[in-house]
Amino acid sequence: MIKDVAEEWEVRASSVPFQGRVTGVRTDEVLMPDGSYARRDYQTHPGSVSVLALDGEGRVLLVRQYRHPVRQRLWELPAGLLDVPGENPLHAAQRELYEEAHCKAGSWRVLVDFYTSPGGTDEALRLFLATDLEEAGGERYAADGEELEIEVARVPLPELVRLVLAGELHNPTLITGTLALQAALAGDGIASLRPADSPWPARPFAAE
């Protein structure tokens, strides 16, 4: 059966040489199958959520932000950190959709769960599919920092697929979400996706 399984190799020693406001760096000495120990440095991360919001015309809502490590302004899906331990990921995703795009959605499902870069970080991300999209009421969220320059666009899914395969878009969550939705629509349909409150072993959360 093809399925990821939990496993933990013996760790002889562990330290945190750096801890930032949100993420840190952990160094583990891990026992290898041949009996030797190998050093593994990786980023510790609280986890993330993201939203692929699909409107009634089959367009995906995108935001564009400057990303300093890669020195590019990237088109992405609305996303954010799980700032509070045990936070319900659906609530966090709804918040991010409101804050970044001033939108809300009437229907939510889990599109896909994944580790963003498992060789270098323990970040786990839950990507939701949001449909029945509409503008949110009330005042807009007061953005600051790089969020002050967020751009918003809506792009038809077939065009997004074309841009991904042409190498024009590089955000991994956008790429994953675009191709996952295309696969779902070509397969058993959106109704076959998991409910929004499905268990997430990588980042356990409270039901409420």
Gap between the Cα atoms of 82 and 25, Å rounded: 18
In the three-class reduction of DSSP (H, G, I as helix; E, B as strand; rest coil), residue 3 is classed as coil
In the three-class reduction of DSSP (H, G, I as helix; E, B as strand; rest coil), residue 164 is classed as helix
The three-point CA angle 36-38-41 to 5° equals 170
Tokens of 80: 């954010």
Give the active site residues. 147
User: Residue 98: which of 84, 114, 115, 78 has the closest Cα?
Assistant: 78
Gap between the Cα atoms of 34 and 15, Å rounded: 23
E strands, 140-206, in order: 151-156, 194-195
Tokens of 45: 């991360």
Tokens of 159: 């065009």
User: Residue 163: which of 173, 175, 151, 177 has the closest Cα?
Assistant: 175
In the three-class reduction of DSSP (H, G, I as helix; E, B as strand; rest coil), residue 117 is classed as coil
